[in-house]
Amino acid sequence: MSRFTYQHLLELVDGDHEFIVRLVEEGLIEQRDDFMSVDVDAVLLARTLWRNLEVDWPGIEIIVRLTAQLNAARRRVQELEAAVATRERPKT
């Protein structure tokens, strides 16, 4: 998660105020004082799904959640592969 000002977030979504309101309502971003906690990849994915592919909000929520889970699983597999590779190295 990154911290953005509203203005910076507005630039990220090409000036779409209504989209930011919807992101807050749907819980994809959290607003705290003058800053917003934002997962930039999730926001950009949601924007693409909404604007370009016309996916509805329940679908966007599922896709964003599954994408995050898939990325976490990929990181875990990489960690496990690195651990196995370290153990398999011959000692000299």
What's the pLDDT tens digit per position in 47-69?
A: 999 999 999 999 999 999 999 99
Q: What is the pLDDT of residue 65?
A: 94
Q: pTM higher than 0.85 for the full model?
A: no
Shortest CA distance to 52 belongs to which of 26, 10, 21, 19?
A: 19
Tokens 């153990």 belong to: 87
CB-based burial label for 36 (10 Å; 0-12, 13-18, 19+): buried
CATH number, residue 38: 1.10.1660.10
Percent of the chain at pLDDT exceeding 70 = 97
Split at pLDDT 50, 70, 90, the class of 6 is confident
Q: How many domains does the chain have?
A: 1
Q: How far is CA 65 from the centre of its chain?
A: 8
The residue segments making up the domain with residue 42 are: 2-88
